[in-house]
Copies of this chain bind each other. A is one copy, B any other.
Amino acid sequence: MSESILKNHIKNYTDLSEEELTKVLSFFDCQSLKKKETLLTTNKPCNKLFFVTKGCLQLYFIDDLGYKKTTQFALENWWLTDFLAFQNQKESNFIIEAVEHSNVLSISYAKYQELLNTFPSLNIYFRNIYETAYGASLMRLKYINSYSKEEMYFRFQEEFPEFVQRVPQYLLASFLGLTPEYLSEIKKNRFS
């Protein structure tokens, strides 16, 4: 089941055969994670890239005051890691944790390189994935500079209603740079 999700995702971008896709999948490990289970921690080499087949992951760091600050979420069909650390085989600047019970496919840096060498057409797939992700992050930076935190929340709710339903409110607050109390306040004022 987990595996067919990645197969179908790759099929959207490449013409790899079913047999080749099965070989692609053999490069990955399946992991089932409990809620709050950690996949990656800071100050240790970032050696894994993750693909979510079920559930939700968060990429976060802990600020000087001890608060968790969420930089990115990943739902089904999303790739997640500290990409800069992964690419340079450096220590991770982020922690990755399961927001809810999740299934992921993981691949080591060495296997990822071997995979791309064995199936060069996967570069087409990942080129598209990262082109979209980078484009989306530029739009996110635009939103951060355009909207108040309150407006960000309502815009987010409008664009990703399913996501707002699924993610605990304290995590959504962290992602939007709000305190959970302020988010409650915003929501209360909206509906009062």
Contacts and interface: CB of A to CB of B under 8 A. Distances in A.
Interface of A: 59, 61, 63-64, 69, 71-72, 82-87, 93-94, 116, 120-121, 123-124, 126-128, 130-142, 144-146, 177
Nearest to A132: B87
Contact of A138 (B82, B121, B135): B82
Contacts of A128: 87
A151 to B, nearest CB: 10
Contacts of A72: 138, 141
Please state the number of chain copies in the assembly.
Answer: 2
B139 A84 contact: yes
A143 to B, nearest CB: 10
A145 B93 CA distance: 13
Nearest to A124: B123
A121 B84 CA distance: 22
Contact of A84 (B124, B138, B146): B138
Given A84-B132, A145-B71, A59 B138 contact: yes
Contacts of A144: 144
